[in-house]
Chains A and B, each alone.
Chain A
Amino acid sequence: KNEVEQSPQNLTAQEGEFITINCSYSVGISALHWLQQHPGGGIVSLFMLSSGKKKHGRLIATINIQEKHSSLHITASHPRDSAVYICAVWDRGSNYKLTFGKGTLLTVNP
């Protein structure tokens, strides 16, 4: 079983829809990253969370440390949001080890 599980693996939405991508982890963590990877391969760090909620534009990330769960929400989705979204956690037990989920492929159709 992977230490970091993401769901769904694939998601197709229509433009304007509200999107939720989930990330569950089994280890104690120090922080969690949400990353975005576009088809060209480039990776962008979207959020880093250790508690609560963060918002940037149409993106919202939340984390519940007790439940070992984080969600990434996209409001008013747009075709340019089409990408792979990756959750990664800093394992508190081994400090600097960053463990990645396998990613969620989001396709937003116009």
Chain B
Amino acid sequence: DSGVTQTPKHLITATGQRVTLRCSPRSGDLSVYWYQQSLDQGLQFLIQYYNGEERAKGNILERFSAQQFPDLHSELNLSSLELGDSALYFCASSVDGTLYNEQFFGPGTRLTVL
């Protein structure tokens, strides 16, 4: 158990809908990362937050947004969902936002868009 929690574990929804994925980092970790893993693209970095502020952006679509709250939990919002958004979404946390910190991954949320 990494200490990172993600909810829900599974999510099934329809095209055009909006969903929110939630992540709680390990106690004491200030940085949260979001990743998408699909069968054709593999793992892709979406976005990083550090202590409430956006730190880095990867291949995140404009339909997706994220935030980190004062209690350091983070939410990833996916809107106008398409079939291609079906994937595993992982959250990871690290002590701070520097490059050389180990990341601890949550169990993932499996999103299925029908």
Which residues does chain B contribute within 8 Å of A33, judged by CB atoms?
103
Main secondary structure of the interface of B (DSSP, over half): strand
Query: Bound state CA distance, A43 and B107, in angstroms?
Result: 7
Q: Which residues of A contact B92 (CB under 8 A)?
A: 43
Given A96-B55, A98-B58, A100-B42, A43 and B99 touching (CB < 8 A)? no
Query: For residues 72 through 114 of chain B, which have their beta carbon under 8 Å from a beta carbon of chain A?
Result: 88, 90, 92, 97, 99-105, 107-108, 110
B42 lies within 8 A of A42 (CB)? no
In the complex, which residues of chain B have a beta carbon less than 8 angstroms from the beta carbon of A96?
48, 55-56, 97, 99
In the complex, A50 has a CB within 8 A of chain B:
yes
Q: How large is the interface on B (under 10, 10 to 19, 20 to 34, 35 or more residues)?
A: 20 to 34
Inter-chain contact A99/B88, CB cutoff 8 Å: no
Cα separation A109 to B102 with both chains bound (whole Å): 30
Are B43 and A97 closer than 8 Å at their CB atoms?
no
Whether A45 touches B55, Cβ cut-off 8 Å, given contacts A99-B45, A100-B43, A100-B44, is no
Residues of B within 8 A of A45 (CB): 102-105
Interface residues in A, total, Cβ within 8 A: 23
**Once bound together, how far apart are the Cα atoms of A88 and B100, in whole Å?**
13
Inter-chain contact B43/A42, CB cutoff 8 Å:
no
Task: Give B contacts to A, CB under 8 Å.
Answer: 2, 33, 42-45, 48, 55-56, 58, 88, 90, 92, 97, 99-105, 107-108, 110
Query: Which residue numbers of A lie inside 8 Å of B, CB to CB?
Result: 30-31, 33, 35, 41-45, 48, 50, 86, 88, 90, 95-103
Task: For the complex of A and B, list the 10 residue pairs with the smallest distance between their C-beta atoms, beginning with the closest.
Answer: A96-B56, A43-B105, A100-B43, A98-B45, A30-B99, A102-B42, A45-B102, A90-B99, A41-B108, A31-B99
